[in-house]
Amino acid sequence: MKHPNYTMSLLAAALFGLSGAASALEPLQTTSITFDPKGTGGDNGIEIAGFDWAVNSLLTVDSIPLSNGTTTLQSYAHTAVQAAIDPDGNPMIIPNLNADFEIAHIAGLKYVATVSGTNVLVNTICPDQPPLSPLYCENDDGDNFFRLYIDTNVNSDTLSGDGYADGKLILEGSLVTANSNNSISLSPLEKLDSFGPDNWGGTTTVTETGSQQVNILVSFADPAYFPDLKPSSIIPYSTETVLSFKQTNPSMKLDTSTGFVSSTVGTINGMVGPDYLEQTDPNNTFSPQQPGLGCRVTGGGNDTYGLNPTFVGWDGSMADGSYSYTQTITKKVKGKLVTQDVTFVNDYSVGGQAGANTALQPQPKGELEHVNHSGPAGQWAFHMGTASAPPGTEIDVIQCSDPGWCKQARPAPSKQIDFAGIGAFSNIIDIGNLNATGTCATLTDTKGNPKDRTLGTYNWAEVHIEDHGEPGSYPTPAGCSVTGSGTDAFSAYNGTGSRVDAVASGTYNPFVCKTDNDPATGCPDFYRIRIYCGVSPTFDADGNLTNFDAIAAKKASGPIYEVYGYMDGGNWQIHPLTGFDLH
């Protein structure tokens, strides 16, 4: 009987090839980097555009047979570098590679697949998360990792599967997006090990051809070997898969994050199972971190952390806070001048996101809404980059700092995030003391276009957020600094020159996560915003803002509004980049 060709559709997740046609990943801006094989911080560096990896194996465990419905799958892969790729895209010899040392990687990914006949739809490894969310989640037992090692013991062996993870770890990350296109045929069968002598005792296999694209989010890069590559950089990784194995031996086992797993494919690989083994031929390029793209933050109400599961953005809910301060004032009491300390309180709520796509214009990389409800500052709303804000407002620069995350928070590259940009006021009921030093805050009519509407002030604003873990808000215990960590990413920015360069010279102070993030010993999430005096915006004939520098220059005069403190209600949550953010 002649068997038909089976074409399975959409994404076999990462390196795994049960898949058919799907839209390709959006290309990322790639560039050459410095790689120093001697680990001297660049002194012996060579310029490379990527690595060309040797043909090797990929194993998907407990995947055969696939039953209709939703199933969870786990894949593993390993290989070693055979050459570099030069900036012109040509093979490039790394001196003494695979003679004095070797470079190898291991990788793993767990994901959720929906199977219907010969179609396999893979969205994410977290079944309660939307498509293109991170391919890992808290409290999940899956392996999602990428680890790169350098080893002076050249002992990696394709057949046994040994020697790929016994060197020095120099780079680590996780997979965040993937795409696959494969075709599998059940007849004729071939020997699984068709490379030289058959080391698999006559095991046969279905045949396959395919290709995969993966984006790897870097969480650690040793600067001794990768001086140009920072955490939150992206490694675009591509591979071709085929069966049978004609260019190398099929691996008997592959590394997991904590040990290894044997390749158990039965007498017919792809039909008997329970595992499925494929030959891979990978290569990669590099997309170094760009300022502001290292992490993302969402903030909002108690129940949602501000996250909208429909498009992985802000859900519109607000977190609550209050800011109290004391001023010494002199006033007449019964005809006499009396000096006394008076405490004032500004009550506010806030919500939004930064470092993440919103699918909304005019600013697709962030949005913030801050509402002052009562107090000396009055009653009004302030918008940066939201759909309700006028064109030209934007979150302009973002900086992530303080690597790691606190217990019970989602794994993330950073515990702190700062962002700044241009916003505008709306719904002004009471301007309070914002115009005490001049006309600094007026309302913009958001209807119509810039040519025919009443223009209010556009104001430079800076935001600082600290994610102290879960829960994000509770009564603040003693021992929590009033000013949080004291980080001020924009301390070196006076409103002129490059904001990106200034951020690099800002003040950064890490904080220590409290034990178990217990409300009795820990601190809630921290938030600070500063809004500076604004000016009327100007636009060109196409409606583009033309006086950005004049707006930002108002920072030099100091803020007209500042509140900060630990959240009374709600939550700020810093996330890793998602597939959504990479599109």
pLDDT tens per residue, range 221-273: 899 999 988 776 778 888 899 999 999 999 999 999 999 999 999 999 999 99
- Given the structure tokens 């800076």, which residue do they identify? 462
Q: Over 70: is that where the pLDDT of 129 sits? A: no
User: Do the beta carbons of residue 410 and residue 577 sit within 8 Å?
Assistant: no
Q: What is the pLDDT of residue 98?
A: 97
Lowest mean pLDDT among 124-128, 189-193, 294-298, 428-432: 124-128
Of 146, 257, 206, the residue nearest 17 (C-alpha): 206
Query: Is residue 236 classed exposed, middle or buried when 0-12, 13-18 and 19+ CB atoms within 10 A define those classes?
Result: buried
Tell me the HSE value of 318 on the side-chain side, using a 13 A CA sphere: 13
Instruction: Compute the CA torsion angle 122, 126, 130, 133 (nearest 10 deg).
Output: -90
Choose between 36 and 180: higher pLDDT. 36
Greatest CA separation found in the chain?
A: 109
Q: What is the pLDDT of residue 289?
A: 56
- What beta strand segments (E) does 192-318 contain? 204-221, 234-243, 253-255, 260-262, 268-269, 276-285, 296-300, 307-308, 313-314
Residue 52: CB atoms within 10 A of its CB come to 17
The C-alpha atoms of residue 134 and residue 100 are separated, in whole angstroms, by: 38
Q: What is the pLDDT of residue 305?
A: 40
Q: How does DSSP assign 462-481, residue by residue? A: EEEEE---SS--SPPPTT--
Confidence of residue 135 (pLDDT cuts 50, 70, 90): very low
Lowest mean pLDDT among 79-83, 319-323, 333-337, 512-516: 512-516
SS3 548: helix
User: Do the beta carbons of residue 172 and residue 146 sit within 8 Å?
Assistant: yes
Q: What is the 3-state secondary structure (H, E, C) of 195-223?
A: CCCCCCCCCEEEEEEEEEEEEEEEEEECC
Q: Over 50: is that where the pLDDT of 304 sits? A: no
pLDDT tens per residue, range 168-222: 999 998 776 666 666 788 889 999 999 999 999 999 999 988 887 777 878 788 9
Q: What is the pLDDT of residue 122?
A: 54
Q: Which structure tokens are listed for 357?
A: 């796509």
Q: Is residue 244 reached through a cis peptide bond, with omega within 30 degrees of 0 on the bond before it?
A: yes
Q: Over 70: is that where the pLDDT of 317 sits? A: no
pLDDT tens per residue, range 332-390: 777 787 787 878 889 998 988 887 554 343 444 678 899 999 999 999 999 887 666 67
The C-alpha atoms of residue 98 and residue 91 are separated, in whole angstroms, by: 15
CB proximity list for 197: less than 8 A, separation 6 or greater? none
Q: Is residue 223 reached through a cis peptide bond, with omega within 30 degrees of 0 on the bond before it?
A: no
Choose between 66 and 313: higher pLDDT. 66
Confidence of residue 95 (pLDDT cuts 50, 70, 90): very high
Q: Over 50: is that where the pLDDT of 6 sits? A: no
Confidence of residue 43 (pLDDT cuts 50, 70, 90): very high
Q: Hey, which residues does 84 pair with through a beta bridge?
A: 51, 92
Q: Hey, which residues does 462 pair with through a beta bridge?
A: 420, 530
CB proximity list for 509: less than 8 A, separation 6 or greater? 485, 486, 487
The C-alpha atoms of residue 161 and residue 256 are separated, in whole angstroms, by: 11
Of 350, 538, 572, 566, the residue nearest 477 (C-alpha): 566
Q: What is the pLDDT of residue 371?
A: 93
Q: Over 70: is that where the pLDDT of 307 sits? A: no
The pLDDT > 90 percentage for the chain reads 37
Q: What is the pLDDT of residue 69?
A: 76
Query: Chain centroid to CA 66: how far?
Result: 31
Torsion angles phi and psi, residue 397, rounded to 5: -145, 145
User: Do the beta carbons of residue 194 and residue 245 sit within 8 Å?
Assistant: yes
Q: What is the pLDDT of residue 412?
A: 67
